[in-house]
């Protein structure tokens, strides 16, 4: 009897140690499914651990592409760096046909835009729209937000009509990080354009933690910069934050179904630390002089390690 009890306890212990892999997304046929990673280019064991989880989760959630928040290659951009810090860690995904779309961080040489697996089309900033979807992505170069790029963004957003509009780039306009914090000069340039043209969600990195910001002017902001680097304990108490996680490495899974964007944030150990939904209220056409969007409600249960300190 005691042996049986011990066996049961051991089994329970083993089960608890196995990554949860509890997927909450709708996982509907025909939806837009993608993953989000940021600040990845170390080539170290943390990047590999997150990459392994990404590949594991793809078995259950067949995302078609991954968006990258920059700092894709730390410490050099020679051929060996591309192999060690990108090609090898994500080989199971690229071999399965998963496409990666990169943006540039402050540790990236702009020549990375010519690396075909980053799908940047040779441009520092670009947009793409997955086939048969109503979602358009805009990859920006927040290291060099000049007038030319702002004019391009303006033009591209206006042309995107009623599509979901998702921007991704390196520096967070809103952040509770102690090391960097909100990039207010960047925010002053891009936020009015985001609001004017109805951008729904913004994904960034730079801060080496995960944070979901309370919707700002109707826009959902996420920081996903801990897919290989971590600044433990760096999230300061902040009124901006809806959810923060700075004690482990993370990536995000995202699914868009109709007017809902579902997200789930997962650690390198397979634990879900945040999840929820963004609902956009109707289809938002670009409107001049808009100061806020009638969009976003985020909701859903959050669990796991709690916000910041």
Give me the residues that bind other proteins (CB under 8 A), please: 74-79, 81-82, 106-111, 114-117, 121-122, 142-148, 171, 179-180, 183-186, 188-189, 229, 231
If the CB atoms of residues 67 and 145 are measured against other proteins, the closer one turns out to be 145
If the CB atoms of residues 77 and 267 are measured against other proteins, the closer one turns out to be 77
3-state secondary structure at position 233: coil
Q: Shortest Cβ distance from residue 175 to other proteins (Å)?
A: 12
Q: Beta strand 260-267 with 272-279: parallel, antiparallel or unpaired?
A: antiparallel
If the CB atoms of residues 144 and 162 are measured against other proteins, the closer one turns out to be 144
Q: Are 82 and 100 in contact (CB under 8 A)?
A: no
Q: Shortest Cβ distance from residue 247 to other proteins (Å)?
A: 16
If the CB atoms of residues 124 and 243 are measured against other proteins, the closer one turns out to be 124
3-state secondary structure at position 99: strand
CB-neighbour burial class of residue 31 (10 A; exposed 0-12, middle 13-18, buried 19+): middle
Q: Shortest Cβ distance from residue 223 to other proteins (Å)?
A: 15
Q: Which residue in 49, 91, 73 sits closest to 227, CA to CA? A: 49
Q: Which residue in 120, 122, 151 sits closest to 137, CA to CA? A: 120
If the CB atoms of residues 72 and 200 are measured against other proteins, the closer one turns out to be 72
What does residue 110 show for φ and ψ, rounded to 5 degrees? -60, -15
The DSSP line for 8-73 is HHHHHHHHHHS------S---TT-EEEEEE-S-TT-SHHHHHHHHHHHHHHTTS---EEEE-S--S
Q: Shortest Cβ distance from residue 220 to other proteins (Å)?
A: 22
If the CB atoms of residues 148 and 283 are measured against other proteins, the closer one turns out to be 148
Q: Shortest Cβ distance from residue 186 to other proteins (Å)?
A: 6
Q: Are 213 and 181 in contact (CB under 8 A)?
A: no
Q: Shortest Cβ distance from residue 35 to other proteins (Å)?
A: 21
């Amino acid at each position: 009897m005691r042996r049986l009890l011990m066996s049961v306890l051991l089994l329970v212990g083993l089960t608890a140690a196995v990554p949860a892999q509890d997927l909450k997304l709708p996982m509907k046929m025909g939806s837009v499914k993608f993953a989000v990673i940021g600040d990845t280019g170390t080539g170290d064991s943390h990047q590999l651990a997150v990459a392994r989880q990404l590949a594991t989760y793809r078995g259950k959630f067949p995302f078609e592409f991954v968006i990258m928040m920059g700092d894709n290659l730390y410490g050099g951009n020679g051929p060996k760096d591309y192999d060690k810090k990108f090609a090898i860690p994500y080989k199971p995904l690229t071999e399965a046909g998963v496409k990666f779309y990169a943006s540039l961080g402050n540790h990236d040489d702009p020549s990375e835009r010519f690396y075909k697996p980053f799908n940047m089309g040779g441009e520092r900033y670009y947009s793409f729209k997955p086939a048969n979807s109503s979602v358009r992505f805009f990859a920006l170069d927040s290291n060099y937000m000049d007038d030319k790029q702002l004019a391009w963004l303006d033009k591209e957003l206006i042309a995107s009509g009623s599509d979901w509009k998702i921007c991704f780039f390196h520096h967070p306009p809103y952040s509770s990080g102690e090391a960097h914090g909100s990039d207010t000069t960047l925010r002053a340039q891009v936020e009015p354009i985001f609001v004017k043209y109805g951008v729904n969600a913004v994904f960034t990195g730079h801060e080496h933690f995960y944070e979901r910001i309370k919707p700002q002017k109707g826009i959902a902001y996420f920081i996903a910069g801990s897919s290989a680097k971590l600044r433990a304990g760096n999230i300061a108490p902040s009124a901006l934050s809806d959810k923060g996680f700075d004690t482990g490495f993370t990536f995000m899974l995202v699914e868009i179904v109709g007017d809902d964007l579902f997200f789930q944030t997962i650690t390198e150990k397979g634990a879900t630390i945040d999840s929820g939904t963004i609902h956009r209220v109707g289809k938002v056409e670009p409107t001049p002089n808009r100061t806020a969007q009638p969009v976003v409600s985020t909701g859903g249960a959050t669990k796991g390690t709690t916000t910041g300190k």
